[in-house]
Amino acid sequence: MKRKWIWMVLLLVYTATLIASITIRTDQTQQKQRLDAFTDVSHLMPVKIKKVVQGKEEETLKAVLAEAREKQLPISIAGKQHSMGGHTYYENGIVLDMTEFRRILAFDKQKKTIRVQSGVTWDDIQKYVNPHGLAVKVMQSQNIFTVGGSLSVNAHGRDIRYGSLIDTVRSFRLLKADGEIITVKRDDDLFTAVIGGYGLFGVILDVELSLTEDELYKMETTSLDYREYSEYFQQHVKENQQVRMHLARISTAKEHFLKDMYVTNYTLSSKQDITAHRELKEDQLVMPLKMMLGFSRRFDMGKDLLWNLQKHYFQKQNDQLITRNNVMRSDSAFLEYENETDTDVLQEYFVPVHAFGAYIDDMRELLQHEDLNLMNITIRYVQKNEKADLSYAKQDMFALVLLMNYGFEKDEKAKAERLIRQMTDVTLRHHGSYYLPYMPYQTKEQMKKAYPKVDLFFQKKKQTDPDDRFINYFYERYNTQ
Ligand SMILES: Cc1cc2nc3c(=O)[nH]c(=O)nc-3n(C[C@H](O)[C@H](O)[C@H](O)COP(=O)(O)OP(=O)(O)OC[C@H]3O[C@@H](n4cnc5c(N)ncnc54)[C@H](O)[C@@H]3O)c2cc1C
């Protein structure tokens, strides 16, 4: 009997060891595959990197930096990797993964401020401040991104009253390439370079942000002709201080390509009691939306259907009440897409508010005979803001976010690259600019036109990091020094 037990225990130990070794080997293989073809959400530029280090503690970050200096290795910094042009890695380099560096460090309800580590997401902040009746001032339309990644692109979103993210940052701490940690305040030279600095000046460790009151809004969606939009916005949105957030869409369906529009305003509600609406919501309709998007990816009919259903869905919500925190809460899970043959990517163009109608006519002229799979365009407003060295809003702008799909084949990529440059030319002719977190197909000349302070930006980079310790493909593409 005793012998039987011993055999059973031995068999169990053997089986457990076997399973553990297979799991370890599978993990190691997956890890190696990931390092051999490291990429971001665009999946467009896989390269081999040396290693990924999770910076859970400040000491780890300092040690990795010291190792990179000693071995002369490049370092790139990664948040959620939703930038789409190799901004978070570099061939044979180390990637600092900041997503576990995510503690909330301080919160002052009276002063409406919060200090967080840079791997914290907007979702983390919303969950923390919502019970206190507070909300974020400026962030993307989605809440999945890290604060460090958002600062590094100087994000903007649906809010129309608080400017770009840079306006809401009080200070941050930065781990520089030489290992020194400095506090960067609003008047410091590096403040305007690091915010919108694409991880080139060092690791943003923690950030103090100013918050605002959570508010209750009434939703209202109206259809309009694209030629009326500039005037409508000026009169009914910008000049009406009760409108706090705004979003618009223009159709990419064949039937009314770049003509049909609808706008959604979030107006301060006269109802004062926000408590009943306070609970944070998660995205609904993820699966149906994912399916609709899939259909529109492949068929013109799908684009028509998506457009009409989306418009109907928004209009059905007219007069509904929603809190500021809930307006800013989409996780956009329906946008997640992975396929072996093709990919969904974004490009974003900023055009002066008054130029919108003429700009849309020129874009339609360019695109209507081209075979570009344009699935969706959302429009936001960005107030003039020239604080960041790489500021995209030289005047009050509409920001058009284009969601498109194209294949990994060489000719497909070349076609997308050509069209993106042509669309950028149209945008620049209207005194606009383009957003930098996406695939950097634009030329250096286009970059300089859109961002006149680009030389100053890269000079600051050279002064702060003379050995180019922090690099990525954004730097490789645009560096002017
Ligand atoms: C579906 C989708 C929707 C989007 N919507 C919006 C929108 O509404 N508004 C908008 O403005 N943008 C939008 N974007 C762009 C988005 O804001 C940027 O891609 C942003 O950088 C994403 O944050 P992340 O955590 O993924 O950063 P990552 O992509 O990981 O990093 C972006 C940059 O920040 C640097 N970085 C990251 N963390 C640090 C750190 N701690 N210290 C120093 N540098 C760091 C990286 O090196 C990199 O250069 C959208 C993108 C997608 C894919």
What confidence tens digit (pLDDT) does each residue in 106-160 have? 999 999 999 999 999 999 999 999 999 999 999 999 999 999 999 999 999 999 9
Q: Please report which confidence band the pLDDT of residue 3 belongs to, taking 50, 70 and 90 as the band edges.
A: confident
Paired tokens of 157: 């979103």
| Atom 44, ligand 1: residue with shortest CA distance | 199
pTM of the model: 0.93
| Atom 53, ligand 1: residue with shortest CA distance | 82
Across the range 169-182, mean pLDDT stands at 98
Paired tokens of 395: 């005047």
Mean per-residue pLDDT over the chain, rounded:
94
β partners of residue 94: 51, 75
Q: What pLDDT is attached to residue 24?
A: 63
Paired tokens of 293: 């998007």
| Ranges 145-159, 207-221, 318-332, 360-374: which has the least confidence | 318-332
Across the range 340-359, mean pLDDT stands at 97
Across the range 70-88, mean pLDDT stands at 97
Instruction: Select from 332, 381, 454 the least CA-distant residue to 164.
Output: 381
CA of 147 to the centre of ligand 1 (A): 8
Q: Please report which confidence band the pLDDT of residue 83 belongs to, taking 50, 70 and 90 as the band edges.
A: very high
Tell me: the pLDDT tens digits for 258-314?
Answer: 999 999 999 999 877 899 999 999 887 788 888 889 999 999 999 999 999 989 989
Q: What pLDDT is attached to residue 21?
A: 65
Residue 13 reports pLDDT greater than 80:
no
Q: What pLDDT is attached to residue 1?
A: 60
| Atom 18, ligand 1: residue with shortest CA distance | 83
Q: Is 330 in the pocket of ligand 1 (CB under 6 A)?
A: no
CA of 89 to the centre of ligand 1 (A): 13
Q: What pLDDT is attached to residue 236?
A: 97
Dihedral sign of CA atoms 57, 58, 63, 66 in order: positive
Q: Please report which confidence band the pLDDT of residue 23 belongs to, taking 50, 70 and 90 as the band edges.
A: low
Q: What pLDDT is attached to residue 432?
A: 98
Taking the CA of residue 158 as reference, the ligand 1 atom at the shortest distance is 8
Q: Is 155 in the pocket of ligand 1 (CB under 6 A)?
A: yes
Q: Is 447 in the pocket of ligand 1 (CB under 6 A)?
A: no
Cβ–Cβ < 8 Å for 261, 223? yes
* Rounded (5°) CA angle 294-343-474: 145
Q: Is 98 in the pocket of ligand 1 (CB under 6 A)?
A: yes
CA of 70 to the centre of ligand 1 (A): 29
Across the range 207-215, mean pLDDT stands at 97
Cβ–Cβ < 8 Å for 433, 450? yes
Tell me: the pLDDT tens digits for 377-423?
Answer: 999 999 999 999 999 999 999 999 999 999 999 999 999 999 999 99
Q: Is 437 in the pocket of ligand 1 (CB under 6 A)?
A: yes
What size, in residues, is the chain? Answer: 481
CA distances from residue 84 to 42, 78, 81, 89, 408 in whole angstroms, order as listed: 5, 12, 8, 11, 14
Cβ–Cβ < 8 Å for 154, 168? no
To test the ligand 1 pocket, which listed residue (42, 102, 141, 152) has its Cβ within 8 A of the most ligand atoms? Answer: 152
Per cent of the chain over pLDDT 90 is: 85
